[in-house]
Amino acid sequence: MAVTSAEAAGPASVKTERRARVLPGGLRTAGTYLASILLGLGVWQLLAIRYGPGLVASPRDTVMAAKDLAADGTLANSVIASGRRILIGWGLGLVVGVPVGLLMGRFTMMRRLLDPYIEFFRFIPPVAFVTLAVVWLGIGESSKVVLIFYTSVFIVTLNTIAGVLSVGESKLRAAASLGAGRWQVMRSVVLPATVPHIVTGSRLAMGNSFLTIVSAEIVAAQVGLGSLIWTSRNYGRIDWVFVGIITLGTLGFVFDRVLRLVASRALRRYGVKL
- Give the long-range contacts of residues 229-238, CB within 8 A, separation 24 or more: 237/65, 238/53, 238/54, 238/55, 238/56, 238/57
Its pTM stands at 0.81
What was the pLDDT predicted at 270?
Answer: 56
Contact by Cβ (8 Å): 143, 157: no
Angstrom distance (rounded) from CA 251 to CA 264: 20
**What tens digit of pLDDT does each residue of 116-160 get?**
999 999 999 988 898 888 889 888 888 999 999 999 999 999 999
End-to-end CA distance of the chain: 37
What is the architecture of the domain spanning 59-270?
Answer: Orthogonal Bundle (1.10)
What was the pLDDT predicted at 166?
Answer: 84
H-type alpha helices, 107-140: 108-121, 130-137
**What tens digit of pLDDT does each residue of 23-45 get?**
466 787 888 888 999 999 999 99
What was the pLDDT predicted at 176?
Answer: 65
Angstrom distance (rounded) from CA 251 to CA 246: 9
What was the pLDDT predicted at 20?
Answer: 44
Backbone phi, psi, residue 237, to 5°:
-95, 85
Contact by Cβ (8 Å): 85, 213: yes
Give the number of C-alpha atoms closer than 13 A to the C-alpha of residue 204, restricted to the C-beta side: 15
Residues in the chain with pLDDT < 70? 1-25, 171-173, 175-176, 178-182, 220, 266-267, 269-274
Contact by Cβ (8 Å): 229, 241: yes
Closest among 228, 204, 256 to 68, alpha carbons compared: 228
What was the pLDDT predicted at 153?
Answer: 95
